[in-house]
Structure 1
Amino acid sequence: METKNRNIMILGTVIMVLLTATPMISTALAQASPIYYSYQSGQLTLQTDKIIVRVTGLSGAGSNNMPHIIFWNPDDNNTIYHLKFIQLIEFIDSNGDQVFQYNEIATGNPVFSFASSQWNFSGFVEEENGVSCNFTLDSSKIPVGILNLSDFEFILAVHIYSTDHQITVAGENTTINALYEVKVDIIMKGWDWKTSNPNTMLALRVDLTWQTGAEAQLKMGLPGGHSIEAGTVINQGEEKKINNTATIQEQINFTGTDSETLAYFKYIDVAEDDLGPLNVTASYATTQSGLKIYLCYPKWTGTLVHDPTVGVTENILSILPFFLTPIFLILVSVVVVSAFGGILVLKRNGKL
């Protein structure tokens, strides 16, 4: 009888240890969120368990020299999002709306296409709470035409963080969400301005597109809540202004069938140069499966820095209580099977 009681106590202890280990395993899984990064054959990869980001198009076979950021949620490999840097356009804001329209391009067509450029990769820098790297335009290899950009500097500074990271712009704070977002600083200096008109601005065109099996069902959500259905046609020359919201951060969403946000491109509506803050505005037209975004900057002094970000939203499984997730159910199954197996062994040996 004493032996049976001892065996029952041992079995009970094993079950308790397994159950106690469950939340410990949960904590370990939550803390084990490394950032994987690599650069091979002209392709950059940044990856966490929340987002996968690739930067292509800068060198190697098939490159077109246009920085192309591809990102997606690893829980949804069927929908891929794209941010592509296309060109810089000097324009005169003749209608006073502070954004780009195609008929406002300055005399002489001072347009620089990134397709005519080459890039240098800095290598990775491991920071206290993340990883960063730079892609720098090789201005020495830009052909001289209407624009002389031999002294022009353009840098894409890429950052991903393992913990939430706060930045301050123009006295206001904003947070880069750890593991879900990648910040892409735009740094410019030495643009060859072709006009002295006080309304002269520079537009950076970036294209936002997506690939998905349900392409016709996706739409784009602009700051302020305005949505653009897939297939909407806004032609070149009909660019619309994106009205800034009351917050410092503007966000353009990729939205699904239920208007839920799946991924996004966001930017602070303030940049900074050597003298302080500058307002950033934007206009847009459409592509076959997305938007042409024109980020607009007034003439600046010295070096201009602007902070866009791409990101994905949390998958529903990642925000469920742990006891509702598949991992927990598997662990519980292991506990139950182990306990049941132990009981059968004890019964077979006549000890229970």
Structure 2
Amino acid sequence: MKIERNQILALSLTLLLSLSTFAIIMPAANAEENGETSGNVEIDPQWRNIWYKFETPLVTLIFPASGKKPMFLWWYTNDNSTIYVVKFKGVIEYLLLDKPYYQRRLNADNDTINAIAWKDYIEPKLRFRYGYGNWGYNWAVNQFLGLLLGLHRAFLPFSACNWTLAPPELVVDGVSSYWSFNFTLTEVYGHPGFQFAENNIQIRCRFYNTTTMETPDETHPEYNYTVAAGQLKFDFVVSHWEWNIDKINQFAKNNEIEIPVNKTGLALWINMASIKLEDISAAENEVQNQYQETVETKSQMQAASINDDYYPVTENQTQNEYERQVRVTSSFRNRTRVQYAKVEGNFSGFLEFVPWARLLDDTGATVDYVNVTASYIAAGGHLRLFICYPYFGNYTLEHDPTIGLASAPLIPMLVTPTLLAILIGATIAIALAVMAVKLRKKPVNMVGVQ
């Protein structure tokens, strides 16, 4: 068939669009395809006399060698200009009312329980049962006020706890290879009522040398996920949590009142920040002085990509806004990803998690799987992320966040210098082809396939 000049131009435009699309998606594909292994792992158990360090050709990971605080820093090995920080800040017991996720205005402390549970659930039913001002009513009121004084605080800060590190050990099981180490909360300081948390909160860590698909319970193969080589996977584990709502419910039952337990949950508070190498001393100050919270003050994080939604974090929104909900998918294979958004560079850090958690009994057997929600808020140069778990009674909760590196989100700049060079080169090639056809002054003949 014969192709006229305008048809060549149309083909040229199509080629340009195809090259544009390929150039846009190419960085993501290359970044995610890190191979089946992370390469050789170099280990320094006393880097700068403070950190335990893993270094691979792709990623460098450090964490406190003393185990004082569950804080993790990592960066692209060939570019340490940006260091990503994830700090496990603490856990918060909260009330679930109109929103299925954590908001700080609903911390399950005595003030909030008194203002909400008492006002909306308990007092009206006591009044109905005993009559306002009667002896039974007054006795119940005094008993409830005494109960409030015995509740633990809603927030348990991990900086007020002693953490013990079980040092890394290499595990090779035939299908995977990883370095295993654990942070265990062994003592609580200055927070009465939280002694039950001692030895009952763990952060089990696995730094993978090989890409591995994990299935926590072989009897439920549909609950699985893949961890890539060079990624650090956590098992956040809470056992025998003592719920404030249980104490309130016991009082309520004694007075023939019922408060649904699904009105409460437990949130894991994680701070996400990024610093420069020259500011690593701020993180080191936290390790050496456990009660300090200084790394966030040096953070230069500008934005996050939360399930592909761009969210700036430079302003402190905690003064005038409440936490927003992360849209968590219910699909077992999908994950929620919070990624550091940056303009320059091929890689950026991320934290992701599956939208379900496992409940176990005292034998370690799986009892149930529960949905996981999340909320977040900008806190001035860093992001507060709250991973939210529904009431799980006296069972053990196990959930699996992961940190690592991926292709940098193309936000807000879509046309990178590399893409621009590809487009310019393609345009020149197409222009030369059109000129050649013009000089010939005749159609281009193509042999059709019969």
Whether contact under 8 Å (2:186, 2:198) holds in the other structure is no
> Which position in structure 1 is the counterpart of 2:76?
73
1:121 matches 2:191: no
1:31 CA displacement = 7.6
1:194-343 matches, within 5 Å, as 194-196=244-246, 197=259, 198=261, 199-212=263-276, 218-223=302-307, 225-235=308-318, 238-245=322-329, 247=331, 248-257=334-343, 262-274=348-360, 275-300=367-392, 301-313=394-406
1:189 matches 2:253: no
* Cα-to-partner distance string for 1:29-69 (whole Å, 9 max, x where unaligned): x989122334335532222111111112855xxxxx43111
1:338-349 matches, within 5 Å, as none
> Which position in structure 2 is the counterpart of 1:321?
none
CA distance, structure 2, for counterparts of residue 152 and residue 173 of structure 1:
27
CA distance, structure 2, for counterparts of residue 314 and residue 228 of structure 1:
17
Whether contact under 8 Å (1:110, 1:146) holds in the other structure is no
Whether contact under 8 Å (1:71, 1:82) holds in the other structure is yes
Q: Which amino acid aligns with 2:310?
A: S
CA distance, structure 2, for counterparts of residue 288 and residue 71 of structure 1:
21
TM-score (norm 1): 0.71
Q: Which amino acid aligns with 1:36?
A: E
1:175 matches 2:177: no
Whether contact under 8 Å (1:183, 1:308) holds in the other structure is yes
Q: Which amino acid aligns with 2:42?
A: Y
CA distance, structure 2, for counterparts of residue 102 and residue 251 of structure 1:
22
Whether contact under 8 Å (1:142, 1:149) holds in the other structure is no
> Which position in structure 2 is the counterpart of 1:131?
179
CA distance, structure 2, for counterparts of residue 304 and residue 192 of structure 1:
13
Higher relative CO (Cα under 8 Å, sequence separation at least 6) belongs to 2
Q: Which amino acid aligns with 1:86?
A: K
1:162 matches 2:209: yes
CA distance, structure 2, for counterparts of residue 259 and residue 52 of structure 1:
16
> Which position in structure 1 is the counterpart of 2:154?
110
CA distance, structure 1, for counterparts of residue 170 and residue 353 of structure 2:
24
Specify whether residues 282 and 32 from structure 1 end up closer, same or farther in structure 2 by C-alpha distance, changes over 3 A only. closer
After the TM superposition, which parts of structure 1 deviate over 6 Å for at least 4 consecutive aligned residues? Answer: none
1:218 CA displacement = 4.1
Whether contact under 8 Å (1:220, 1:290) holds in the other structure is no
Q: Secondary structure at the match of 2:269?
A: strand
Whether contact under 8 Å (1:54, 1:71) holds in the other structure is yes
CA distance, structure 2, for counterparts of residue 102 and residue 259 of structure 1:
35
Q: Which amino acid aligns with 1:119?
A: W
CA distance, structure 2, for counterparts of residue 183 and residue 291 of structure 1:
20
Whether contact under 8 Å (2:87, 2:271) holds in the other structure is yes
Q: Secondary structure at the match of 2:101?
A: coil
Whether contact under 8 Å (2:302, 2:382) holds in the other structure is no
> Which position in structure 1 is the counterpart of 2:116?
none
Q: How big is the alpha-carbon RMSD for the aligned residues of Structure 1 and Structure 2?
A: 2.7
CA distance, structure 2, for counterparts of residue 87 and residue 233 of structure 1:
20
Specify whether residues 122 and 42 from structure 1 end up closer, same or farther in structure 2 by C-alpha distance, changes over 3 A only. farther
CA distance, structure 1, for counterparts of residue 243 and residue 44 of structure 2:
37
Bigger strand share: 1
Provide the aligned length of Structure 1 versus Structure 2: 276
Whether contact under 8 Å (1:253, 1:261) holds in the other structure is no
Specify whether residues 130 and 151 from structure 1 end up closer, same or farther in structure 2 by C-alpha distance, changes over 3 A only. closer
Q: Secondary structure at the match of 2:81?
A: coil
Whether contact under 8 Å (2:55, 2:77) holds in the other structure is no
Specify whether residues 195 and 262 from structure 1 end up closer, same or farther in structure 2 by C-alpha distance, changes over 3 A only. same
Whether contact under 8 Å (2:59, 2:76) holds in the other structure is yes
Q: Secondary structure at the match of 1:134?
A: strand
CA distance, structure 2, for counterparts of residue 152 and residue 135 of structure 1:
10
Q: Secondary structure at the match of 1:195?
A: helix
* Cα-to-partner distance string for 1:201-256 (whole Å, 9 max, x where unaligned): 0111000011259x878420001x21112424421561111111354311011122
Aligned-residue sequence identity (percent) comes to 21
Whether contact under 8 Å (2:205, 2:233) holds in the other structure is yes
> Which position in structure 2 is the counterpart of 1:327?
none
1:270 CA displacement = 0.6
CA distance, structure 2, for counterparts of residue 277 and residue 99 of structure 1:
17
Specify whether residues 231 and 144 from structure 1 end up closer, same or farther in structure 2 by C-alpha distance, changes over 3 A only. closer
1:285 CA displacement = 1.1
> Which position in structure 2 is the counterpart of 1:23?
none
Specify whether residues 150 and 88 from structure 1 end up closer, same or farther in structure 2 by C-alpha distance, changes over 3 A only. closer
Whether contact under 8 Å (2:185, 2:198) holds in the other structure is no
1:290 CA displacement = 2.1
2:62 pairs, out of 49, 54, 66, with 54
CA distance, structure 1, for counterparts of residue 80 and residue 346 of structure 2:
17
1:43 matches 2:39: no
* Cα-to-partner distance string for 1:65-105 (whole Å, 9 max, x where unaligned): 4311111111211011000111111111121x221111101
CA distance, structure 2, for counterparts of residue 299 and residue 258 of structure 1:
42
Whether contact under 8 Å (2:373, 2:387) holds in the other structure is yes
1:259 CA displacement = 10
Is there any run of 5+ residues in structure 1 with no aligned partner, and where? 1-29, 60-64, 316-352
